[in-house]
Structure 1
Amino acid sequence: MTFHKLPLLRSVFAYFGRASAATRRRWARVLGWLAPRLLRSRAHVVRTNLALCFPDRTPEQREAWLRRHFHLLARSVVDRGLCWFGPAPAIMEATPITGLEHLDALLKAKRRIIMLAPHFIGLDAAATRLTLFLKESATMYTPQSDADVDTLVREGRGRFNTVHLVSRSAGVRGLIRHLRNGVPVYYLPDMDFRRAGSVFVPFFGVQAATLLATAQIAKSWDAAVVPIISRLDEETGRYAVEVLPPLEDFPGEQSAEEATARLNALVESWVRVDPPQYYWVHRRFKTRPEGEARIY
C-alpha cells in the first residue's frame, strides 16, 4: 500500500495558513530550537559558512547568529502556509513592500526585467508578494525529490496570477525564453551550479563559483536588473520587501566576470546589514577552484 503524504502536508500548511501570527511564532520557536539539533549536517554547513565569512567575529557571536538563523529559517517555513493557503489580504499585510514603482515604470516602458533575488530568509515570501502584483512572471525551480512535496511547492508558488516555474534542469535558457517574451523573471544569482557557466569571484573574501548569467543576459537582452531584498522582523512576523532601483550601467563596459564580481560585492553589502537573515544552510562554497580542498 502506497502512503501519499500530500493530504497530510496540505493539512499542516493549510493550518499554518489559517493560524494567527502569534501561533506561527510559537511553532517557529519550537522548530527553530529543534532544527540545529536534528539537522546536524546543516548546522555544520552554517557554522562553516559563518566561520569562513566572518573570521573576525568570536565563535560565541557566530553561534548566536546560528541560533537566530535557524529560528528565522523555521519561521519562513511555517509562513509558507500563509503564502500557499492564506488569504491574499493577510499575505499583503505580512509582506509590506516598497519600490513597486520601479517595476511599474519598467513594465510601462516595456523593458525586460530581471528581478535579482539573493538567498535571504524572506525569499519565498517576497516572491509570493510579487506574484500578487505581477500578472505574469517566471522563476527557476529545483524539483523536489519527493513527488508529494514537489506538488505542494509547485502549487504554492504558482498560486497567484501566471507563474512559469522553470526546472533547474532546463537551466538559464528556460528563463531566457520567458524574458525575451517580456515576462519578468525572478532570479537567484547566488547559487552554486558547479563550474559550467560560472566564474570564481570573491564572496566575503572566499572564491565562490558564480554564474555569469545575470551579466550576460542583461547585456544580450538589454534587461534591467532590479534587486529584491527581503528581511523578516521577528517581533512583528512581517517581511519587509524592498524593490530597489535598477542597477545603473549594468553591465556597462565591464566584462561579464567584472560585472559578476560587482554583483557578489552588492549581495555581500546587503547581507552585512543583518547576517543571520541570509540562507547560510546553502553550501555556497561547494565548488572549489582547481586544486583546493573541499570545504564541507
Structure 2
Amino acid sequence: MPKPINLTTVVLGLVEQLGRLPLPVLRCLGVLLGLGLYVGVGSRRRVVRTNMSLCFPHWTSWEIRLYSLRTFVGFAQAWLDRGWLWTASPELLRRRLKLVGACHELDGQEPTVLFAPHFFGLDAAWTALTLGVPRRFTTIYTDQQNKTSDAWILRGRRRFGSPNVLGRVDGVKPVLASLKRSEPLYLLPDMNFGPEESLFVPFYGVPAATVPSLSRFAKLGRAKVVPVIARMTAQGYSIELLPAWRDFPTADLRADTATMNLRLQGYIDAMPAQYYWVHKRFKDRPDGEAGPY
C-alpha cells in the first residue's frame, strides 16, 4: 500500500524550490500569494484590521485597508523568502542580508540581549547574525503543532553558528546560563503569550498583555539590551543593530516593560506594514474588559 503523501512536506519542498528563483520573481509570487490570503482568510484579515484600528485610530478606513493588504503581502513574501534563507549558499546570503548600524555592539564578550521585535524579517536577521557574527547565539523557540513544519523551521534556524535553540518550556535557567557564557540572546518578547506571566502595559495606548522578559533577562544576566530591526528591501533584507539602551533595565519591571512597548512603537511607525499584525496582540484583556476580536 503506498505511503500517504505528507502535504506539509510537499508545500515546504515547493517553497525551497521557489527559493531558487531570482528574488524579484519570488517577491512577485509573494504579492500574488499575499493577495490570495487577504481575500481568502477573512478571520485573519479582521484581526489585522482590528489591530490597526486600535493602534492607529487616526487612520482612515482606506488607510487601514491599504496597510492590511500590504501586511498580507509582506507576510507572504517573508514566508517564501525562507526557501532561500535556509537553503542558499553563504555567498548568496551575504549579498542579500546586510548587517548595518551599531555592529560594534556585538564585539567582545559582553552579555547581550538582542531585542528583536516581530517584523517579517525576524528569520532573516537571525540568519544574518548567526552567519556573519563570530559568536554563538541563543534564542527561545515555541514548538509548532505540525511536527513536519517544526522540524523544517528548527533545521533552518540551526543552520549556521551552532546556535543554542531553547524551548519555551525549558524555563529561565538555561537562558541565564547562556548569558553567563556571553552568548547573545535573540529575544522576541512583543507577542501575547497569555496573562499568567504578563503585565498589562500600554501598547499604542491600549493595555496589552506583555511578558517582562526583556527587563528580567537583562537584569538577571547583567546584560545590555541592543535592538535589532529587520527591514525587507528589494535586494533582500537590511538588519540594523541600534545602540544599546543605556537607561535599561531599571528597578521597576513594569516601567521597563512599558518603555519597551513605547520604543517598539517608534520602530513600527517607520515601517508599519512590516510588523506582525496577524497576531491577536490584544486577545487577553484586563479583568472585566471585553476582547476586541
Give CA-to-partner distance per residue, 1:132-152, whole Å, 9 cap, x none: 023411111121111111111
Asked whether the equivalents of residues 119 and 276 of structure 2 are also in contact (C-alpha less than 8 Å), the reply is: yes
**Deviates most, 10-19 or 61-70:** 10-19
C-alpha distance after superposition, 1:96-145 (max 9, x if no partner): 1113533333xx1x211111001111111111111102341111112111
2:114 and 2:187 in contact (8 A); partners too: yes
| Change in 2 beyond 3 A, CA 1:80/1:249 | same
1:247 aligns with 245
Distance 2:151 2:221 in 1: 32
Which AA in structure 1 matches 2:201? V
- SS of residue paired to 2:227: strand
What amino acid is aligned across from residue 290 of structure 1 in structure 2?
A: D
User: What whole-Å deviation, never above 9, does each CA across 1:24-72 have from its counterpart, x for those lacking one?
Assistant: 0121011011011222211111010001001111000110001111111
Runs of 4 or more, structure 1, over 2 Å off, are 1-11, 99-105, 168-177
Displacement of 1:171 in angstroms is 4.0
8 Å Cα contact 1:36/1:43 also seen in 2: yes
Could you list the runs of 5+ residues in structure 2 that have no partner in the other structure? Answer: none
Show structure 1 runs of 5+ residues with no match. Answer: none
Question: Greater CA deviation, 51-60 or 190-199?
Answer: 190-199
Give how far 1:82 is off: 1.1
Which residue number corresponds to residue 223 of structure 2? 223
Counterpart residue number, 1:90: 92
Amino acid at match of 2:28: R
Q: State the TM-score, normalizing by the size of structure 1.
A: 0.93
2:24 to 22, 25, 45: 22
Alpha-carbon RMSD across the aligned residues, in angstroms, is: 1.6
Q: What residue in structure 2 maps to residue 122 of structure 1?
A: 121
Q: Distance in 2 between matches of 1:173 and 1:104?
A: 23
What TM-score results when the alignment is normalised by the length of structure 2? 0.94
More displaced stretch, 163-172 vs 150-159: 163-172
- What letter is aligned with 1:84? W
Contact 2:102 2:243 in 1 (8 A): no
Aligned match for 1:286, one of 278, 283, 286: 283
Report the AA paired with residue 149 of structure 1: S
Instruction: Measure how far apart 1:84 and its partner are.
Output: 0.7
* TM-aligned CA distance change 1:271 to 1:214, over 3 Å: same
Instruction: Please point out which of 37, 40, 47 is paired with 1:38.
Output: 40
Q: Which residue of 2 aligns with 1:266?
A: 263
2:202 pairs with 1:202: yes
SS in 1 for 2:238: strand
Return the letter of the residue paired with 1:95: L
Following TM superposition, by how much is the alpha carbon of 1:7 offset from its aligned partner in structure 2, in angstroms? 4.6
- What residue in structure 1 maps to residue 57 of structure 2? 55
**Alpha-carbon distance between aligned partners in 1 of 2:87 and 2:217, rounded to the nearest angstrom:** 34
8 A contact 1:131–1:161 mirrored in 2: yes
Deviation at 1:5, TM superposition (A): 4.2
Structure 1 residues 199 and 132 mapped into 2: Cα distance closer, same or farther (>3 Å)? same
CA shift for structure 1 position 10: 4.5
Identical counterparts, % of pairs = 36
Greater shift in the superposed pair: 207-216 or 95-104: 95-104
What CA distance in whole angstroms lies between the structure 2 residues aligned with 1:9 and 1:273? 33
Query: Separation in 2 of the partners of 1:203 and 1:43?
Result: 20
Distance in 2 (CA, whole Å) between partners of 1:208 and 1:143 is 23
Give the whole-Å Cα distance in 2 for the aligned partners of 1:34 and 1:243.
34
Any conservation in 2 of the 1:25–1:237 contact (CA below 8 Å)? Answer: no
SS at match of 1:85: coil
Residue 248 of structure 2 aligns to a residue whose secondary structure is coil
Work out whether residues 176 and 220 of structure 2, in 8 Å CA contact, stay in contact via their aligned partners in 1. Answer: no
